[in-house]
Amino acid sequence: MKKLALMMAAALMAAGCESSADNSASGNSSADRVRIGFAMATVREERWQRDHDAFKAHCEKMNVECIITVADNNSSRQANDIENLLTKGVDVLVIAPQEATEAAAMVEKAKAQGVPVISYDRLVNSPNIDLYISHQVPVIGRRMAEYALERVPKGNYVMVYGASTDNNAHIMKKEQLAVLQPAIDRGDIKIVAEQFITDWKNDLALNFVENMLTKMNDDLQAVIVSNDGMAGGVISALDKKGLTGKVLVTGQDAQIDALQNIAEGKQSMTVYKAIIPLASAAVEAAIKLARKEPLETETFRNEAINADVRAILLEVVSVDRDNLTTTVIADGYAKFDDVYKNVPADRRPAR
């Protein structure tokens, strides 16, 4: 699975570079055609591959030029990507930042050239972005903790956060702990370990939880994991100890392997974030910003810099074994046969 994802990522990185060349060569560009630059941090995970494809497809549908770059989890490379996008004269810059604070300097460069900036999915630590578009990140954090607490009201918890360089990881951590704090105060649950995981890497999550299982003599009841990629690593660690399905494991992104794990009872839940509506909304917002048209937004407080920013925040859905068919499958996000690939036919729900 990991090897396949890396191969797909490499292909997508190449495709992103080719998309701008194709548009320029086709002769479809005109003086009034909006040119959008999308600086992505990564496409290694399935979730980000979906963003890449959905964003590009909607640009084509809206007849705007789209130049996508991928920094492969390297903030210096992303800074260079953005320099190149600005040199190419993009009308709007969309950033899915690798490093939330370093990306603020990229925002300033764009604004100095009069280019509006959209912070995509991950929040840039800058008060000068024109729009933050994402799913309800605070809600995602709460949903994970609420789900865990409802099903495992007592016991030892381990918290596996995302990258410390990613604002979303900090937002989710705050919300998760806020939900759990009353139970902690009562002594019902105990957080025996917590850690941010560099670049949300599943192998680092695996190592962290593996070490904690050894330290705790396998006495863990829940692992709140902030995304599906890391959840896969956690499940591998549990599997080595014969604890798969016995310890609650959360996630987010509704990756196909996570959905399969949920169907098999290995992962407890994920938070489903519809990617096509997010990417489409980002493209349409970029077009409006380029044309100086009004946007309907709400206000989001970036507590990292104590500033309010304009935002469009999409709703999220908790998914577990009970509602796989009525959420991700019903929406066409995943196919029934793919989700239940490893589940015997007589144990599958009705279609």
Q: Is residue 24 over pLDDT 70?
A: no
Question: What are 198-228's pLDDT values in tens digits?
Answer: 999 999 999 999 999 999 999 999 999 999 9
β-partners of residue 117 are 93
Question: What digits encode the pLDDT tens for the residues 3-15?
Answer: 444 444 444 444 4
Q: Which fold has domain 2-129+274-315?
A: Rossmann fold (3.40.50)
Contact 29, 83 (CB under 8 A): no
Q: What is the pLDDT of residues 67-82, one digit of tens each?
A: 999 999 999 999 999 9
Q: pTM of this prediction?
A: 0.88
From-to residues of CATH 3.40.50.2300 in the chain = 2-129+274-315, 138-273+321-347
Residue 20, pLDDT above cutoff 80: no
pLDDT at position 237 is 98
Q: What contacts 220, CB < 8 A, 6 or more positions away?
A: 155, 156, 157, 158, 192, 212, 213, 243, 247
Q: Please state the rounded mean pLDDT for residues 45-53.
A: 95
Does the pLDDT at position 339 exceed 90?
Answer: yes
Query: For the residues 125-146, what does the mean pLDDT come to?
Result: 98
pLDDT at 351: 86
pLDDT for residue 31? 54
- Shortest CA distance to 104 belongs to which of 128, 131, 78, 80? 128
Q: What is the pLDDT of residue 32?
A: 78
pLDDT at 269 exceeding the cut of 90:
yes
Q: Average pLDDT, stretch 132-136?
A: 97
The values of phi and psi at residue 318, to 5°, are: -80, 135
How large is the average pLDDT for residues 311-337?
96
Cβ contacts of residue 276 below 8 Å, gap of 6+? 50, 54, 58
pLDDT tier at 282, thresholds 50, 70, 90: very high
CATH for 138-273+321-347 is: 3.40.50.2300
